[in-house]
Copies of this chain bind each other. A is one copy, B any other.
Amino acid sequence: MPESPIRKLVPYADVAKKKGRTVYHLNIGQPDIETPEVALNAIRNFDQKVVAYSHSAGILSYREKLCEYYSRHNIEITPDEIIVGAGASEAILFAMNSCLDTGDEIIIPEPFYANYNGFAINAGVVVVPIFSDIESGFALPPIADFEKAITDRTKAILICNPNNPTGYLYSKEELEILRDIVKKYDLFLITDEVYREFCYDGNTQYSAMYLKGIEQNVIMIDSVSKRYSACGFRIGCIISKNKEVMSTALKFAQARLSPPTFGQVAAEAAIDTPDSYFEAVSKEYLARRDVVVESINSIPGCYCPVPKGAFYVVARLPIDDCDRFCQWLLEDFEYENGTVMLAPASGFYSTKGRGKDEVRISYVLNVDDLKRSMKCLEESLKVYPGRTS
C-alpha cells in the first residue's frame, strides 16, 4: 500500500507544532464549514431503542429521499439503483470490485485522488494513468491518449468531476467525448461526483448520468462528506442503472452487513438543508479560491490555473522536489511563527517523477488564515534552498 500524500507529512507537522508554530492545514479536504443544523438535529432526536443493522443497500427511506435529491439535479433514479456505502471510499471499492476482475485495468487521468490507488490495490485492479496538463488547466486529455492506453484488459475509465486534486470542472463536450470512447470500447465510466455543489463563476456540473446511450456503462460515486461538511458521517453511495453491476455490488454490501445507521439518519435529514446554506458556502469558497489563485499567480515563478470547481488548486512552484519542500516547510521554516502544510502533488500522479514541482492546496480555511498562509508560502519560496528559478 502506498502512503497517502496527505498523511505522510503528519509527523513533520507534529514537529512544527511542538516548536510552538501555527500550522495552516492546506493539505486536507476537511472543510471548516459547519454541518447543517437540520442534520445534527436528526441525530439529537434519534429515538430508536435498538440501533439495528439497516438494509445492506441502506435505509429505504434514505434511498427514497436520495432519489428526491437527485431529481432536483435532473438525475432520475429509483431506490434500487442506489447502494449506500461507508463514504465514497466504500462505494468506489464496491464499484471496482463489481466492474473489474483481478488484473483488469482502469484508466484514470492524472493527477488523481491518491486514495484511488489504495482501492485499486484492494480490488486487485491495475491503474493506467493518462496525463492531464497544468498548462491546459488539467482539461480532459485528448482522445488519442485514451485510445493509446486501452488494452484487452481495460474495463473502465474513472473520472472525478469536479476534480480532486485539480478543481477542474469537465464540460458537457468533454463528457460527450468520454461517452463516445466508453461506447466504442464498451467500458464502464466510473464517475466520482462528490463535489457536485462546488462549482463557481456561474457554472454547473454536467453529470455523467445525463449522457444518453451509455446508461448501462455509467457508475456514479457520491458522498455527503463535502456537500454537508459531514465527513464523519461516513455516508456515500454507488448509483447505476446496470442491474448486473448493482446485484454484484449488493453482494459485497451484504458481506459487510450494512452502512452506519446514525450517519444515514443524519444524511437523510441533510437533504432538507435550505438553499441559503449552499449559497453561503459557495460564496465563501469562491472568495477563498480567489485569494489562493490570485496570491499564487502573483508570486514570482508560481502558477496555478483558475479551477471552476471543488475546493482545491494544483499549483506549480519554483521548487526542486515537492516532497522535500513540503517537509522543509514543516521542519525548517517559519514566518511570523507560522508555517503551511501542503500536499505534495507527486502523490497524486501514478507516473513516477511527475508533479515534482507541484503542490495541492485545499482552500478549507477562512480568508484571513488563507491570506496568512499565502504570505507564508511567498516568504518561504524566497529562502527555500531547493528553489529552481
Contacts and interface: CB of A to CB of B under 8 A. Distances in A.
A89 interface: yes
Main secondary structure, interface of A, reads loop
Nearest to A264: B232
Interface string A102-115: 10000000000001
A266 B89 CA distance: 22
Q: How large is the interface on A (under 10, 10 to 19, 20 to 34, 35 or more residues)?
A: 35 or more
Contact of A124 (B102, B232, B262, B266): B102
Contacts of A90: 86, 256
A162 interface: no
Contact of A255 (B31, B34, B118, B248): B118
A260 B257 contact: no
A337 interface: no
Interface in A232-281: 232-234, 248, 251-252, 254-263, 266
Given A51-B232, A102-B124, 12 more contacts: A1-B248, A4-B254, A35-B49, A52-B232, A53-B232, A102-B102, A115-B255, A115-B256, A118-B254, A233-B260, A260-B262, A260-B263
Interface of A: 1-4, 7, 28, 30-35, 39-40, 43-46, 49-54, 56, 86-87, 89-90, 93, 97, 102, 115, 118-119, 122, 124, 229-234, 248, 251-252, 254-263, 266
